[in-house]
Amino acid sequence: MKHRSIRIALAAATVVLGVAAAPVQAQQMPPWEAQLYEAAKKEKEFTVYTAHYSTEEASRLCTAFETRYPGVKCNFVRTTAQVAFQRLQQDLMAKVAVASVFSSTDVSHYPALKKKGQLMMYRPHNLDKVVDSLKQYSDPEGYYTVTAAALMLITYNTELVPQAEAPKNWPDLLNPKWKDKVSIGHPAFSGYVGTWVVLMQKLYGWDYFEKLEKNSPQIGRSVNDTVTMLNAKERWVAAGPEATTLMSRDKGNPLGVVYPTDGSLLMVSPSGIPANAPAPNAAKLYVEFMLDKEAAEVQVKSHSLSVIKGIKAAPGTKPLEDIKVVRPTEEEITVGIPEVKVKFRDTFGI
């Protein structure tokens, strides 16, 4: 009840202020959108399994969706990529259709689902709005579309490390002065870390990790664990996520980020619609929404990157065009992650 009244108040406020976020009238929508919206209203509600965002951000995105499309309720289950995937598999095996949208951060999930015929084909109309450099990461056949992007870079505790002394590039983390002071995640738990390990191997060979081992890095699970370790001052520098680190800095925690001169790792995360989606029209509408302005603005506020053109970065975040980004090819990632997981365990013993 309370939630709804807040939403009405919000809607009223936006109407009064004439802000663009007001519900778009059906007749103002392009025909395809109006059509999807009508069909989605009949489905009433839909559920997103997402690993892309924090709970708060996922919740804000759903609220923004419901504001734009009154009458369609947006539910979400926010969890880690592996758990989201496990749940989807469970649902499929149990023949219980729950998720209408599946958003994982592990890109290897999508080809696997596609191969088994468990994804629905849909080419969003809003695909044209996507940043050109990100277009290549969506499925050319239209079984999944990139809806989120973020960076992994070097992070540090600003009370312990002066800006001038912070590492400037990835090999700087191997400097003996950081012995017992580096924090990283584990590729078996985190899709981010897995991709990062593949990238480091590609750039510097496995030697990189043999040397990193000598610095006894602290190995957590999720890439976000590095944020906790820096805040606790247990570790000084880390290979961490941009978005979570800056969100924590916004609260006043003493954290800083460095965009490595040899390139920040670009993480792209697709969304797909399961073939058995109970609300396929609402799902399509949601994917379109994710490639539109409102969703991009919500994401940018949480320091994620905008996947569409023409959105300004949040204060304190470098705009994407000013950053050197690198990313292994999709094949290198899909083939590489299982391989580096084994190597990682051999080198670090866990």
Partner 1 sequence: MSASSGVLHAVSRRWRHTDRSAWVWILAVLVLAFLVLNPLVRLLVVSFQEGETGSFTLANYLAAYGRSRYVEALGNSLTLGFWAATLCLLFGVPMAWALSRTDMPGKGLVWLSILGTFIIPPYLGAVGWILLAGPNAGWLNRMVVALTGVDSGPFNIYSMTGLVLVVACYSFPYVFVFTKSALDLVSSEMEDAASILGASTMRTTLSITLPLVLPAILGAFILVFLEAIALFGSPALLALPGRFHVVTTQLWQFFEFPPRVGVAAAYAMPLLGITILLFWLQRRITSRKGYVALTGKGGERRPIRLGFWKWPLLGYCLAVCTLSFYMPMVVICQAAFAKAWGRGFTLDNFTLNNLYFTLFENNLTRNATINTFLYAGAASVIAVTLALCVAYIVNRQLVGRHTGNILSFLTMAPFVIPGIVLAIGFYAAYTRPPFMLYGTAWILILAFATRFLPIAYANSNAAIRSINPELEDAVRILGGSRFTAITRVLIPLLKRSLAGAFILVFIPATRELSTAIFLYSINTQVLSVLLFDKSDEGNFEMLAAIGLLLVIITISLILIGFRFMGRDFMLRRTPG
Q: Applying CB under 8 A, which residues contact partner 1?
A: 3, 47, 54-55, 59, 75, 77-80, 82-83, 85-87, 89-90, 93-94, 96, 98, 106, 108-109, 112, 157, 180-181, 186, 188-189, 218-222, 224-228, 230-235, 241, 244-245, 247-248, 251-255, 341, 345, 348-350
Tokens read off for 63: 């609220």
- State which residue, 30 or 94, has the beta carbon closest to partner 1: 94
Shortest reach from residue 11's CB to partner 1, in Å: 18
- State which residue, 59 or 169, has the beta carbon closest to partner 1: 59
The DSSP H or E segment spanning 71 is none
Shortest reach from residue 207's CB to partner 1, in Å: 20
Q: Give the count of beta carbons closer than 10 Å to the beta carbon of residue 235.
A: 25
- State which residue, 228 or 276, has the beta carbon closest to partner 1: 228
Shortest reach from residue 110's CB to partner 1, in Å: 11
- State which residue, 48 or 311, has the beta carbon closest to partner 1: 48
Cα 67 to Cα 13, 77, 93, 234, 252: the distances in Å are 12, 19, 34, 42, 31
- State which residue, 48 or 199, has the beta carbon closest to partner 1: 48
What lies within 8 Å, CB to CB, of 316 at 6+ separation is 246, 249, 250, 303
Shortest reach from residue 101's CB to partner 1, in Å: 13
- Smallest CA-to-CA distance from 217 within 202, 196, 243 is with 196
Shortest reach from residue 301's CB to partner 1, in Å: 15
65 neighbors 33 (Cβ within 8 angstroms): no
Residue 61 Rama label (left phi>0; alpha psi -120 to 50; beta) = alpha
